[in-house]
Amino acid sequence: MSEERYAIDVRGLTKRFGKKVAVNGIDIAVPEGQVWGFLGPNGSGKTTTIRMLCGLLNADAGEGTCLGYDFRTQSEQIKLETGYMTQKFSFWEDLSIRENLDFVARLYQLPKRHALVDRTLEKLGLKQRQHQLAGDLSGGWKQRMALAACTLHSPKLLLLDEPTAGVDPKARRDFWDEIHNLASTGITVLVSTHYMDEAERCDRIVYISVGNIVARGTVAEIIEQSKLITFTIEGEAARPLAERLRGLPGVVFVTFFGAVLHVSGYDRAKLDTALAPYRSDPHLVIRETTPTLEDVFIELQETNGEGNS
């Protein structure tokens, strides 16, 4: 059996801004060819971590490698083999899609760039819009163009910082299909996201809060590790129960998912006591369910506190 190879393998990664510790000694080891989700509230340290990995920020402490290079001393080599997609659209809005891609190809001094741009436009479904100004594109098409630009130089690693924020559901789905197509060719992907359906499409998930990793693993592992107990309440009389149940002994949080009320905690006896007065109501259906990933992440935010943008 061959030894597992890591695209990212860093330990003790730390970054301070004055007295604020933005990233607090975290360890990340991402095997080659996998898609990892990076989750956490705004201000938790996700973007800072991504920027350190690709050499845009210098770490204050830590050691390890990215694509086999020392992430602290060989950042220029890492940049040449990494595609980084920022939260904010960062290309030239007064240039067309084709002109943007051609400019990026010249920056990397890529050979046969006209043919390369042609293939990239075709591959990502941009050929029909290639002469449209980037500034006139919708969010979904900007995202697709940015992904084309980030993969033009055939990187081994993609670092995607909330790439689908503000994009419609179909465009998000199409984007993720393309991410998994890229991963199937051996590219490693680390993507930060706030969307639980996207997190569930990752091989593994890392949840970071206030600069610390507080959960990691597959979706099933993270749900199991949480030890969370969740009950659902459905029916016309469910909505008024939210305020009545909040703050009761054993109730950690109460939240709605659509028209269904989720009541979660860790002490089954106390949860049963909190719900007992409502079990005989014929207008309510109360049942225990497996916690969702969103249940777990709401609990992690409640426990660890949300950061600021």
**Domains by residue range for the chain, with CATH:** 6-222 (3.40.50.300), 229-290 (3.30.70.330)
3 state SS for 220-239: HHHHHHHCCEEEEEECCCCC
Cβ neighbour number for residue 27 with a 10 Å cutoff: 14
What's the mean pLDDT in 57-70?
Answer: 94
Q: What is the reported pLDDT for 306? A: 53
Which residues are 107's β-sheet partners? none
Q: What are the helix and strand counts (H, E) for the chain? A: 11, 14
pLDDT computed for residue 104 by the predictor: 95
Torsion angle defined by CA atoms of residues 19, 24, 25 and 29, in that order, rounded to the nearest 10 degrees = -140
More confident residue, 55 or 82: 82
Single-letter residue type at 96: S
- The fraction of the chain above a pLDDT of 70, given in percent, is 97
Q: What span, in angstroms and rounded, lies between the C-alpha atoms of 255 and 246?
A: 9
**What pLDDT is recorded for position 236?**
84
pLDDT of residue 140: 86
With contact defined as beta carbons under 8 Å apart, do 264 and 230 qualify? yes
Give tens-digit pLDDT for 264-300.
Answer: 999 999 999 999 999 999 999 999 999 999 889 888 8
Q: What is the DSSP letter of 95?
A: S
The C-alpha angle 200, 220, 193, rounded to 5 degrees, equals 30
What integer pLDDT is reported at residue 93 of this predicted model?
Answer: 94
> What percent of the chain lies above the pLDDT cut of 90?
74
Span 200-252, pLDDT tens digits: 999 999 999 889 999 999 999 999 999 999 999 999 889 889 999 998 999 99
Contact 194, 301 (CB under 8 A): no
Q: How far apart are alpha carbons 271 and 265 in whole angstroms?
A: 7
Beta strands 20-31 and 6-17: pairing type?
antiparallel
